[in-house]
Amino acid sequence: MDIVRLMLPDLEINIYGVAGDLCIVGEASVRAGYRVMEKLMKNLRYLRNRYPDKLRRIVVLIIYTSLAMPDLVEEAKKRDIWVLKATGDIVRPKLLDKIKTLA
């Protein structure tokens, strides 16, 4: 899967990729807290409403950061959002294991 920045006339998604039934939508931030997750959720809702053709049956939400704040980590676990940094996973969503079994 190629990961790119998705530029639409009225929306920018930092991390975006599509392969078959799988779609990745995410935000990148040096320091990520709850607000970054809120922005990601808002962008996902906007995509669903205005650009549903950009999404697929399985959507994996990602936040890529150097520093994940505790409030983000806690909420990402609850919402099954993948939070990672260059050295590895901070929060690995259960959805990733389900996708492996589908492959």
* Domain CATH for 23: 3.40.1350
| Residue range 3-14: mean pLDDT, rounded | 96
Instruction: Determine the residue type at 90.
Output: I
Higher-confidence position of 42 and 103: 42
| Number of compact structural domains in the chain | 1
Whole-angstrom Cα Rg for the chain: 13
How far is the C-alpha of 36 from the C-alpha of 42, rounded, in Å? 10
Going from the C-alpha of 76 to that of each of 35, 42, 68, 85, the distances in angstroms are: 12, 15, 10, 14
Residue 97 has a pLDDT of 80
Can you give the pTM of this predicted structure?
0.91
Range of the domain at 25: 4-102
How far is the C-alpha of 71 from the C-alpha of 37, rounded, in Å? 10
For residues 81 and 62, is the Cβ–Cβ distance under 8 A?
yes
7, pLDDT greater than 90: yes
102, pLDDT greater than 70: no
pLDDT tens digit sequence for 29-87: 999 999 999 999 999 999 999 999 999 999 999 999 999 999 999 999 999 999 999 99
